[in-house]
Amino acid sequence: MSLDTLLNRIDDDLPEALERLMALLRIPSISTDPEYKKDCLDAAEWLVADLSSLGVDAEVRPTTGHPMVVGHVGEGSPHLLFYGHYDVQPVDPLDLWDRDPFDPEIQDTPNGKVIRGRGSADDKGQLMTFVEACRAWKAVIGKWPCKITFLFEGEEESGSPSLVPFLEANAEELGQPDLALICDTGLFDRDTPAITTMLRGLLGEEVTITGPEMDLHSGMYGGAAMNPIRVLSRIIASLHDDDGRITVPGFYDGVSEIPAEIMDQWTALGFDDKAFLADVDLHTPAGESGRSVLEMVWSRPTCETNGITGGYTGEGFKTVLPSKASAKISFRLVGSQDPLAIRESFRKMVTEMLPPDCTVSFKDHGAGPASVMSTEDPAFEIARLALTDEWPKPAAFIGSGGSIPIAGHFKEILGLDSMLIGFGLDDDGLHSPNEKYDVRSFHKGIRSWARILDALTS
Ligand code: BES
Ligand code: ZN
């Protein structure tokens, strides 16, 4: 077969492929909110029906949380395991969306057409790039390029609680794939495709400080009673020093400098620190002093408070001295930082900062280490060249500030290396209002997978 026939078929089928993606985007599969449990099941069933229509032996697999979708098809080597996630982030603040997040539409923008809707970039649009490449392959060639196992998760955005038990219980069925393909990352820039070789780990902690046993009148008790918001604020403020370094004892154990060879590759990419910040209306890097912006987001660890609650936050004003205050705090981890050791050290540090009459409780929101992919498998160079054929500029090996827990679990549980290829852009609005995925990302993403499958199997 000629690769051109396959690529032409993908071009011709783009309108139908977009329609299918829109149907999946209409299902509000928000994994973290129990109200959307049925929708998560609907999205899993939609995927099973779509895979089945291609002749994949696909099933919805229950877990203690949202179901997995598992599908098997084809034969021969290499055995590829493709992973994506069908769950999405919550949509709030809803009033900042220009339209219903689950009523997707194709919109014209100065940068071309985009698919607007929750999950378009993270990760439904991305996972469908691979499914659509398979559909075109099946239509043009009539048989599958090699043995492919599909694994779609429904809890990636909420810490993947069922993933490890599922992988352990189903390791035999998943077989011994040669390589995992994960489509949940981005391009380096509009014209430069990328294989992501480093992901940061993540540790999530919720801290609740309790002072008085109930909310008090701040006139009657203010001054005499300790305010838990004051305590919490002091704790949060103390987590960074004046150089932007994190003060949790032992936090930097396991953080090392990036090898010079990788640093040189990154420097050659010509990342524009100023433009990156200017795109979100900022101008001054806020990380550790002496580090480049690329290091701050790809290779240095962070501590961020993601939300704070306490006291009266509604309309108007209330002179209350609250009983409780809480914060959700996440740490992005790199190198061989140990998430559990950091959790313990963080909890000890917070506990030691408590003034008299205050207590603290902690809620665990998951912990996973950073992962670094080995690029020794020749498949990496083959895929890099295939991507280079599709996009205007040569493909790069890059880092990523995000976390995708499955990459680490594939390695630990299945002994499997992952190749992370995705087509998202920095301005896609992941986890934000008005999320979008460029039609160009979707279209060239499908074409990229077709080229990669062709190159890996010929
Ligand atoms: N697709 C993202 C990860 C990502 C973000 C990769 C940006 C590359 C660039 C993924 O769905 C995600 O958001 N993961 C969460 C993980 C968490 C909830 C355990 C993250 O990174 O916050
Ligand atoms: Zn994602």
CATH of the domain at 213: 3.30.70.360
**φ and ψ at residue 214, rounded to 5 degrees:** -145, 165
Does residue 324 sit in the same domain as residue 395?
Answer: no
Structure token digits, residue 286: 């806020």
pLDDT at 1 exceeding the cut of 70: no
Does residue 316 sit in the same domain as residue 340?
Answer: yes
CA 229 from chain center: how many Å? 31
Looking at 343, 368, 393, which one is the last position of a domain? 368
Looking at 314, 344, 368, which one is the last position of a domain? 368
Q: Which of 287, 302, 290, 293 is nearest to 271 (CA)?
A: 293
Does residue 157 sit in the same domain as residue 73?
Answer: yes
CA of 406 to the centre of ligand 1 (A): 11
Ligand 1 atom 18 nearest Cα:
157
Query: Which amino acid does the sequence have at 225?
Result: A
Does residue 218 sit in the same domain as residue 120?
Answer: no
Domain that holds residue 222: 201-255+301-368
> Which residues, in sequence order, are bridge partners of residue 189?
192
CA of 408 to the centre of ligand 1 (A): 13
Does residue 161 lie in a domain region?
yes
Does residue 125 lie in a domain region?
yes
| Percent of all residues in the chain with a pLDDT value above 90, rounded to a whole number | 95
Q: Is 193 in the pocket of ligand 1 (CB under 6 A)?
A: no
Does residue 211 lie in a domain region?
yes
Does residue 213 sit in the same domain as residue 71?
Answer: no
pLDDT at 127 exceeding the cut of 90: yes
Q: Is 126 in the pocket of ligand 1 (CB under 6 A)?
A: no
Q: Is 156 in the pocket of ligand 1 (CB under 6 A)?
A: yes
Does residue 361 sit in the same domain as residue 236?
Answer: yes
The CATH number given to whatever domain includes residue 159 is 3.40.630.10
Helices (H), 157-249: 163-174, 228-237
Give residue 418's pLDDT: 96
Residues 6+ apart with CB under 8 A from 33: 90
What's the structural domain count of the chain? 2
CA of 292 to the centre of ligand 1 (A): 22
Does residue 79 sit in the same domain as residue 144?
Answer: yes
Residues 6+ apart with CB under 8 A from 161: 64, 65, 155, 366
Does residue 193 sit in the same domain as residue 216?
Answer: no
Structure token digits, residue 123: 């990760």
Q: How confident is the model at residue 159 (pLDDT cuts 50, 70, 90)?
A: confident
Does residue 227 sit in the same domain as residue 89?
Answer: no
CA of 435 to the centre of ligand 2 (A): 12
Average pLDDT over residues 290-318: 97
Does residue 278 lie in a domain region?
no
Average pLDDT over residues 396-407: 93
Does residue 344 sit in the same domain as residue 376?
Answer: no
Mutate to test the pocket of ligand 1, among 88, 195, 403, 420 (most ligand atoms within 8 A of CB): 403
Q: What is the pLDDT of residues 179-232, one digit of tens each?
A: 999 999 999 999 999 999 999 999 999 999 999 999 999 999 999 999 999 999
Give residue 410's pLDDT: 93
Cα radius of gyration rounded to whole Å, the chain? 23
Looking at 311, 342, 368, which one is the last position of a domain? 368
Q: How confident is the model at residue 405 (pLDDT cuts 50, 70, 90)?
A: confident
Does residue 148 lie in a domain region?
yes
Q: Is 84 in the pocket of ligand 1 (CB under 6 A)?
A: no
CA of 123 to the centre of ligand 2 (A): 5
Does residue 409 lie in a domain region?
yes
**How far, in Å, are 11, 55, 111, 186, 273 from residue 195 at the CA level?**
24, 29, 23, 9, 21
Q: Which of 253, 240, 251, 256 is nearest to 289 (CA)?
A: 240
Give residue 180's pLDDT: 97
Residues 6+ apart with CB under 8 A from 133: 10, 446, 447, 448, 449, 450, 453
Does residue 46 sit in the same domain as residue 195?
Answer: yes
Average pLDDT over residues 170-184: 96
Structure token digits, residue 367: 């912990």
Average pLDDT over residues 6-14: 98
pLDDT at 431 exceeding the cut of 90: yes
Does residue 436 lie in a domain region?
yes
Does residue 274 lie in a domain region?
no
Structure token digits, residue 240: 């960074």
Long-range contacts for 38-41 (Cβ within 8 Å, ≥24 apart)?
A: 40/66, 40/67, 40/86, 40/87, 40/154, 41/66, 41/67
Does residue 379 sit in the same domain as residue 450?
Answer: yes
